[in-house]
Copies of this chain bind each other. A is one copy, B any other.
């Protein structure tokens, strides 16, 4: 019996998960998958959690549960601190993990273009925690507007600014427009819906630049019909607690969301290899690290170019295909077969704009409106990992669609203790006081 090949995968996103699944079919490998979180996240639907349409558990599942039947995969929740390329060892907060083959697929976070202090005032959308925070801010703005008696204050509270006109920014802006027009309108008594403003601010000349001109214009019209104003060629120069500055203009807004810059994970920065402007590692055609054929990079962390020498976008299909490709390459290595270069099969792209509107493009084939939205829905449901999630998400959507309701409009506090320390901003109303005389348990 040959010795087992030790494969270490860092990151349980689309790339890591697909690599692990593919590799687990071989009995000659022992796989360790390390992730800082216990769950795989279906990021394309994360904006629905932020917009109170879905619950976190609808689009996330424990990694170890997804890989439960892969007996040769060990899943460990932990943090990787560094990689020792010479000794073939990954350093983690739970000890050293040696590898024969290594896949780094740690994804990307947000870049605030040298202004990390903006994050406090303009959360991005990469994690469940951030989605919940955005939900809290958007819903709280409506609640406070309902309490306020000053029209100026109501206007500030009902102004929502989304920075960045990529798919995430468009989805967020469309969803907020729709929510204020339909879902929330009849639940509030004092809020004047005409005061609600949604601005989508983009530094480039158009939104969704990856789509053709015709579709981009259609998306802008769809956004406008939901009450979203699109400002293109507008560079944000400051973000603070009052709102944003765009050149010498200043807009007061209680809620600012960040969907602009992306930056690859810092894991791998110390490898001493070439990275692009977004911190992505420039890889060989077989996705390996230059001079380290058994270390691979995949997903949002990799800078990989297509035939036209354009870098591949940071989307789920690229990550999934790269994950499976790396698994196949490792298996080919073990069978002493020659390596092949990675070829991305582009099946097209889609973006959704609120309820029942989307744009989709595959080759020269274009879809808009309700048909595009149906296509978007089918594709996303199909790719949602695991039967349970798919099933419930479809039901949830059907329900929201039929009733115009949002299922998950909960404002959840950040503090769980009933007696938190004094610096906690929200004084608990129903907190129990320290007892004067001890009573006996139950």
Residues of A at the B interface (CB closer than 8 Å) are 11, 36-39, 55-58, 60-62, 64-65, 68, 74-80, 93-94, 106-114, 116, 119-120, 123-124, 126-130, 132-133, 139-140, 143-144, 146-147, 163-166, 169, 186-190, 202-204, 209, 235-236, 259-267, 269, 277-279, 388, 391-392, 395-396, 399, 403, 405, 407-419, 426-442
Query: How many Å from the CB of A280 to the closest CB on chain B?
Result: 12
Q: Which residues of B contact A64 (CB under 8 A)?
A: 187-188
Q: Which residues of B contact A439 (CB under 8 A)?
A: 111, 113, 261, 277-278
Query: How many Å from the CB of A66 to the closest CB on chain B?
Result: 9
Q: In the complex the two chains form, is B110's CB within 8 Å of A412's CB?
A: no
Q: In the complex the two chains form, is A432's CB within 8 Å of B57's CB?
A: no
| Chain B, Cβ-Cβ closest to A38 | B411
| C-alpha gap A128/B56 in the complex (Å) | 14
Most B CB within 10 A of own CB, among A116, A166, A432: A432
Q: Which residues of B contact A399 (CB under 8 A)?
A: 388, 391-392
| C-alpha gap A200/B260 in the complex (Å) | 50
Q: In the complex the two chains form, is B57's CB within 8 Å of A408's CB?
A: yes
Q: Which DSSP category, helix, strand, loop or mixed, fits chain A's interface?
A: loop
Quick one: given A65-B187, A433-B263, are A128 and B38 in contact (CB under 8 Å)? Answer: no
6 cross-chain pairs, A with B, having the tightest CB-CB distances, nearest first: A109-B432, A57-B408, A55-B55, A263-B432, A260-B441, A129-B416
Q: Which residues of B contact A62 (CB under 8 A)?
A: 187, 409-410
Q: In the complex the two chains form, is B76's CB within 8 Å of A147's CB?
A: yes
Q: In the complex the two chains form, is B435's CB within 8 Å of A114's CB?
A: yes
Q: Which residues of B contact A263 (CB under 8 A)?
A: 432-433, 435
CB<8 Å pairs between A and B, sample of 21: A36-B426, A39-B410, A79-B426, A93-B427, A113-B435, A113-B441, A114-B438, A116-B419, A127-B416, A129-B415, A130-B416, A204-B442, A261-B435, A261-B439, A264-B432, A265-B429, A266-B431, A277-B439, A279-B433, A388-B399, A388-B405
Q: In the complex the two chains form, is A442's CB within 8 Å of B261's CB?
A: yes
Copy total for this chain:
2
Quick one: given A111-B432, A438-B114, are A412 and B56 in contact (CB under 8 Å)? Answer: yes
Q: In the complex the two chains form, is B265's CB within 8 Å of A441's CB?
A: no
Query: How many Å from the CB of A90 to the closest CB on chain B?
Result: 12
Most B CB within 10 A of own CB, among A56, A415, A435: A435
Q: Which residues of B contact A264 (CB under 8 A)?
A: 432
Kindly list 16 other residue pairs between chains A and B, CB separation below 8 angstroms, not including A36-B430, A77-B146, A278-B439. Answer: A38-B411, A55-B55, A55-B57, A55-B408, A79-B427, A106-B429, A110-B418, A111-B439, A113-B439, A114-B435, A114-B437, A203-B440, A266-B430, A266-B432, A269-B433, A388-B405
